[in-house]
């Protein structure tokens, strides 16, 4: 995980399509009971591909403000 950045999810909005899991270059995510789960947060490079492709806005990168 990059400094000052966080990977966040909103399970209530997730419909379990699996795009984020499929296109995550670092295999950080998985789907459990039709919801996204962050399995390996330390491996996340904050590329934001999951956020771009999530049709339900259920996963995103947040930049922590000072």
Residues within the interface to other proteins (CB under 8 A):
8, 10, 12-13, 15-19, 22, 51-58, 60-62
Q: What contacts 37, CB < 8 A, 6 or more positions away? A: 9, 29, 30, 31
Cα–Cα distance measured from residue 55 to residue 48, given in angstroms and rounded to the nearest whole number: 14
Closer Cβ to other proteins, 21 or 45, answer by number = 21
Tell me how far, at minimum, the Cβ of 40 lies from other proteins, in Å: 20
State the nearest-atom distance from the C-beta of 43 to other proteins, in Å.
Answer: 21
H or E element that contains 22: helix 19-23
Residue 7 CB, shortest distance to other proteins, in Å, is: 11
């Amino acid at each position: 995980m990059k400094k000052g950045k966080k990977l966040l999810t909103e399970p209530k909005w997730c419909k379990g399509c699996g795009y984020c899991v499929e296109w995550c270059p670092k295999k950080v995510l998985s789907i459990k009971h039709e919801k996204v789960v962050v399995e390996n947060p330390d491996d996340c490079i904050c590329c934001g591909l999951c956020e771009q492709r999530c049709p339900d806005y259920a996963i995103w990168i947040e930049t922590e403000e000072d």
